[in-house]
Structure 1
Amino acid sequence: MKYIIVTGTSRGIGFELSKLFAEAGYKVLALSRNEKPIKTLGHYNIEAFSFDVSSAKDRDTLSNYLKDKNASVVALINNAGKLINKPFLELSEDEFKAVYEVNVFGVAAMTRLIIPFMDKSGHVLTISSMGGIQGSAKFPGLSAYSSSKGAVLTLTELLAEEFKETGPSFNALALGAVQTEMLEEAFPGYKAPVSAKEMAEYILDFALKGHKMYNGKILQVSSSTP
């Protein structure tokens, strides 16, 4: 069984991306702490169960699931993310760690888990943020979020180098503002120039084709300047 695995699928980009992959005929394993929204779609190409990328127990369950299915993973889209908008001096150590548990350690653990189920043609695509790009515009209150998104960009480059002979390929997309529930919660009233579905359409195409031209690359996906 060949799968596309997407994390963070209960809403926003991950939800739209799972639908698009399924409608394009791919078997999707949609993973999120809240699996109900994606299950409600009832799409025959989508398999979903409750999953927390920061939980070792959940990752063990996933590993056993893939082994039972004799699965081969075509692409892993590390999309799950956690954002806390709070001034640095008000941000507790536990809150800072919670962001990193999902955005950094969760990405690393998921990638480590899935690589053995991929062949040389596989693609690990991590969804990051323009906030993680050195020299980009930064916003107060996002010290944990943006720094964590910068960490996975460097991780992407390192993994591409480490696996350049055997595969799979590793790339990351640093997204600009996208109109999602997470953005609305962090910045109430802000209107982004791109919808979740529009961004999902771009990500789908890149997940399937981008690694033929890129490996270890960080692409900035933002219509704003600079």
Structure 2
Amino acid sequence: MKKIVITGTSRGIGLELVKILAQAGHKVLALSRNQDAVKKLDLENVHFFEFDITSEEDLQKASDFVKEQWGGVDILINNAGAIINKPFEEITSEEFESVYKVNVFGVAALTRKLLPLISKEGHVVTVSSMGGVQGSMKFPGLSAYSSSKGAVITLTELLAEEYKESGPAFNVLALGAVQTEMLQEAFPGYKTPLQPAEMARYIADFSLTGNKFYNGKLLQVSSSTP
């Protein structure tokens, strides 16, 4: 049984991860701004509270919970994400920064808060995007999103190197298009054959076992061009 922290659990892949990992018997701390969907699951081994990854107070709250209730954590899945689809000349500095606050600064801040509590044999998995992979197809309007996803790829590689002697392992998954609410909000009408539950099953398995085979690696998880 693992102790697992997951961000971005209000819907989509994050919510499916909570279901899969909790039903497999693991302890899960589900962190998101809206907890209604997680609450409705009514799973005994799922803990949750409203959480804003850009809030220092909430970051400390998550750290305190792990320390006081669990004594440590085995797996951190950085799944929370923000996206804005807007032409570069029209996106404001505030909008650009808001994406980075969630996708980059929040990931770094939560990882830093929990790192002293993560098992040396633990695993930090960050969910990125194919849009952040160098040389991949890029889409107009995603300057903030894709560049932020590229940043966490490099961050993962750096952290793996920095902690390679002491652990934990750090890996990053660059996902292709998945039929999530966030995708629909950014690209109304766009259809992809891959459903959130399918991708969540892959991420859950990788989170549990991937650190046996990988550290500091970017894995491209996409069956399509994007």
TM-score, shorter chain, exceeding 0.5: yes
Matched AA of 1:108: A
Aligned to 2:47: 47
Matched AA of 1:182: M
Please report how far the alpha carbon of residue 193 of structure 1 lies from its aligned counterpart in structure 2 after TM superposition.
2.1
Please report how far the alpha carbon of residue 148 of structure 1 lies from its aligned counterpart in structure 2 after TM superposition.
0.1
Q: TM-score, normalised by structure 2?
A: 0.98
Which consecutive unaligned segments of at least 5 residues does structure 1 have? none
How many pairs align?
226
Please report how far the alpha carbon of residue 45 of structure 1 lies from its aligned counterpart in structure 2 after TM superposition.
1.4
CA distance in 1, matches of 2:134, 2:60: 35
CA distance in 1, matches of 2:87, 2:117: 41
Aligned to 1:158: 158
CA distance in 1, matches of 2:12, 2:153: 21
Could you tell me whether the CA contact under 8 Å between 1:3 and 1:71 is conserved in 2? no
Aligned to 1:181: 181
SS state of the match for residue 122, structure 1? strand
SS state of the match for residue 69, structure 1? helix
SS state of the match for residue 120, structure 1? strand
SS state of the match for residue 58, structure 1? helix
Aligned to 2:21: 21
SS state of the match for residue 75, structure 2? strand
1:62 matched to 2:53? The reply is: no
Please report how far the alpha carbon of residue 42 of structure 1 lies from its aligned counterpart in structure 2 after TM superposition.
0.5
Could you tell me whether the CA contact under 8 Å between 2:129 and 2:174 is conserved in 1? yes
Matched AA of 2:131: G
Aligned to 1:204: 204
Say if 1:176 and 1:157 are closer, same or farther in 2 by CA, change over 3 A: same
SS state of the match for residue 165, structure 1? coil
SS state of the match for residue 119, structure 2? coil
Could you tell me whether the CA contact under 8 Å between 2:156 and 2:171 is conserved in 1? yes
Aligned to 1:101: 101
Matched AA of 2:28: V
Could you tell me whether the CA contact under 8 Å between 1:2 and 1:72 is conserved in 2? no
Please report how far the alpha carbon of residue 225 of structure 1 lies from its aligned counterpart in structure 2 after TM superposition.
4.1
CA distance in 2, matches of 1:20, 1:60: 26
Matched AA of 2:74: V
Q: TM-score, normalised by structure 1?
A: 0.98
1:116 matched to 2:116? The reply is: yes
Could you tell me whether the CA contact under 8 Å between 1:2 and 1:71 is conserved in 2? no
- Cα distance per residue 1:139-189 (max 9 Å; x no partner): 000000000000000000000000000000000000000000000010001
Please report how far the alpha carbon of residue 14 of structure 1 lies from its aligned counterpart in structure 2 after TM superposition.
0.1
CA distance in 1, matches of 2:62, 2:222: 33
Could you tell me whether the CA contact under 8 Å between 2:3 and 2:70 is conserved in 1? no
Matched AA of 1:157: E
Say if 1:21 and 1:194 are closer, same or farther in 2 by CA, change over 3 A: same
1:31 matched to 2:24? The reply is: no
RMSD over equivalenced CA pairs, Å: 1.2
CA distance in 2, matches of 1:197, 1:52: 24
Could you tell me whether the CA contact under 8 Å between 1:87 and 1:141 is conserved in 2? yes
Matched AA of 1:56: E
Matched AA of 1:128: S
CA distance in 1, matches of 2:149, 2:116: 25
CA distance in 2, matches of 1:119, 1:208: 13
